[in-house]
Amino acid sequence: MSTELQILYAGERLFAKQGIDATSLRQISTAAGQRNTAAAQYHFGDKRKLIEAVFRHRLGVIDARRHEMLESARKAGRTADPWELTEILVRPLAEQALRPGSHYVRFLQRVFEYTGLDVAALREIGGVDEAVAVGRLLGDRLPHLAGSLVHRRHRWAGQLIIAGLADLERRSAEPADGDGASDTTDPEADILGLIDAVTGLLTAPVSERSAARRTAPDTPAAEAVR
């Protein structure tokens, strides 16, 4: 394994466990087995560039899997179903979460906490073309939602996916009750349940109270909660 990959994996792991602010490039160099504690800085420059390198390393594989699933759904005529589209968003990331030794989804959760919890930030880095395409298809299947509400629901859905799969990754990796066994008896049930929950969030009808609130004249109270 190259030095860069050793540093990249060490950074991913430490960021996932400790958070972004609590992890230094020197710590990452040491965790990667480098005698030169400036190795991470030498190869990546700063934290942001290392984080972007982790994304590029992981997202290409995950988005390729989404492309494969989306093409299969198109050929089978299943892209009209929001549940099927939501599965395309969830399952490739879930497959990564269940890989032995994976820290990527927990890393992803830490980065989103650090940057403001908006999955749209990934577009700047790239590697999410298929996720964006699926998001647009989902938006087209939610005609009961106004544009701004579609965006909010997509944001909340992204947060739920990351939180749910970070929890799955954590429980799959950590022994339960000290007996050496994973704390996940049926990960497929968790994945399907998460797809159900995200689909429900996206497709839920707008209540009369919510609709009235959105159409009411602006007031100081209304502005305060925006």
pLDDT at 196 over 70: yes
According to the model, what pLDDT value does residue 187 have?
95
Per residue in 137-149, pLDDT (tens digit) is: 999 999 888 878 8
The model's confidence at residue 126, banded by pLDDT at 50, 70 and 90, is: low
pLDDT at 125 over 70: no
pLDDT at 191 over 90: yes
Residues 40 and 77 in one domain: no
- Mean pLDDT lowest among 106-110, 114-118, 171-175: 114-118
pLDDT at 199 over 60: yes
Q: How far apart are CA 8 and CA 155, in angstroms?
A: 28
| 58 assigned to some structural domain | yes
Residues 144 and 175 in one domain: yes
Residues 6 and 82 in one domain: no
Range of the domain at 60: 48-206
| Strands (E) located in 131-221 | 175-176, 181-182
How many domains does the chain fold into? 2
Residues 82 and 180 in one domain: yes
| 183 assigned to some structural domain | yes
Q: How far apart are CA 219 and CA 213, in angstroms?
A: 11
Residues 13 and 60 in one domain: no
pLDDT at 124 over 90: no
| 217 assigned to some structural domain | no
Mean pLDDT to the nearest integer, 6-11: 97
Residues 15 and 61 in one domain: no
Q: ∠ CA(119), CA(156), CA(159), 5° rounding?
A: 55
Q: What is the CATH number of the domain that holds 22?
A: 1.10.10
Q: How far apart are CA 120 and CA 136, in angstroms?
A: 13
Residues 103 and 153 in one domain: yes
Q: How many CB atoms lie within 10 A of CB 7?
A: 25
Mean pLDDT to the nearest integer, 4-26: 96
| 21 assigned to some structural domain | yes
Per residue in 35-92, pLDDT (tens digit) is: 999 999 999 999 999 999 999 999 989 999 999 999 999 999 999 999 999 999 999 9
Residues 195 and 86 in one domain: yes
According to the model, what pLDDT value does residue 120 have?
60
Q: What's the predicted TM-score (pTM) here?
A: 0.86
Residues 34 and 113 in one domain: no
| 11 assigned to some structural domain | yes
| 223 assigned to some structural domain | no
| 214 assigned to some structural domain | no
pLDDT at 182 over 80: no
- Could you tell me the end-to-end alpha-carbon distance of the chain, in angstroms, rounded to an integer? 49
Residues 27 and 108 in one domain: no
Residues 108 and 193 in one domain: yes
Residues 30 and 92 in one domain: no
- Mean pLDDT lowest among 53-57, 64-68, 94-98, 218-222: 218-222
Mean pLDDT to the nearest integer, 144-163: 89
| 221 assigned to some structural domain | no
